[in-house]
Amino acid sequence: MRGHNRAISFMLRVGLFAVFAYAGIEKWHNSRDFVEQIANYQFFPDRSPWVALLLPPFELAAACSILLLSRAWRQAGAILMLAMLLMFTVAMARAWTLGINIECGCFGKGSPTIGPLSFVRNASLIAGTLVLLWFDRESTAKSGQV
């Protein structure tokens, strides 16, 4: 990986780590509020306690893996982040198209209401994750690893 690609990759890893670690910690810290935020999506509300229990550790695991672990774990963490971001975006789009006026729940209590900026934010995070995966794939191919 060339020098500037390494720098960009590192900055992306630090940025994505910060976003996902902050989101996971806030949701875990305010788990009762997060259960309510998930139920407000009106999509399997009876499952919201389970989602509120499981999602923050996954966010924290993905965050830590892209910053602290080896390339294979970084890639796995980035793929997990990408899957979560796509899931979050689909859930927000569903709520928005149904006219459900709720906080996104992205960063726990006090998250912004779902709107165009929510989709721009998620698209930016998705793009950053894809670039990170591209750089890691590129460096894996150059080093001869599978």
CB 3 within 8 A of CB 130: no
What does the pLDDT read at residue 66? 92
What does the pLDDT read at residue 76? 92
Tokens 């894809």, residue?
A: 130
What does the pLDDT read at residue 105? 83
What does the pLDDT read at residue 108? 77
The DSSP letter of residue 111 is P
CB 6 within 8 A of CB 85: no
Which amino acid belongs to residue 12?
A: L
CB 103 within 8 A of CB 113: yes
Neighbours of 146 (CB within 10 A): 5
Confidence of residue 146 (pLDDT cuts 50, 70, 90): very low
Range of the domain at 52: 3-143
Domain count, the chain: 1
Which has the closest alpha carbon to 122: 109, 134, 112? 112
**Tokens coding 51:** 């989602």
Read off the pLDDT of residues 36-72 as tens digits, 9 standing for 90 and up: 888 888 888 888 899 889 999 999 999 999 998 888 8
CB 15 within 8 A of CB 89: no
Phi, psi of 103 (to 5 degrees): -70, 145
| Between 91 and 2, residue with greater pLDDT | 91
